[in-house]
Amino acid sequence: DGSPFAVGGRFRLADCTLAPVLFFYAQSGPMFGYADVFKDAPTVGSYYRSLKNDPSVARVLGEMEAALRKVLGG
């Protein structure tokens, strides 16, 4: 439908659920030799990039990234 969200054209629980899953998917790919985990799934990659532009999602993903770097010693 052209919406940047998973369901119904507005930000919903589905987006809240998918954002951290896709974050960890994107972060773990390079650890296993996949530079672009969304290469073969461009629609999912586009959706994830769109989600990251939402201010609330960006804030949470930023916090997750900082915590992950701390845990991994980076």
Residue-wise pLDDT for 5-50, tens only, equals 999 889 999 999 999 999 999 999 998 999 999 999 999 999 999 9
Contact yes or no for 38/48 (Cβ under 8 A):
yes
What's the pLDDT at 3? 84
Q: Where residue 70 falls among pLDDT bands split at 50, 70, 90?
A: very high
> Which one-letter amino acid corresponds to residue 57?
V
What's the pLDDT at 2? 76
Residue 57: Cβ within 10 Å count: 20
> Which one-letter amino acid corresponds to residue 18?
L
Which among 16, 6, 57, 20 has a CA at the least distance from the CA of 28? Answer: 20
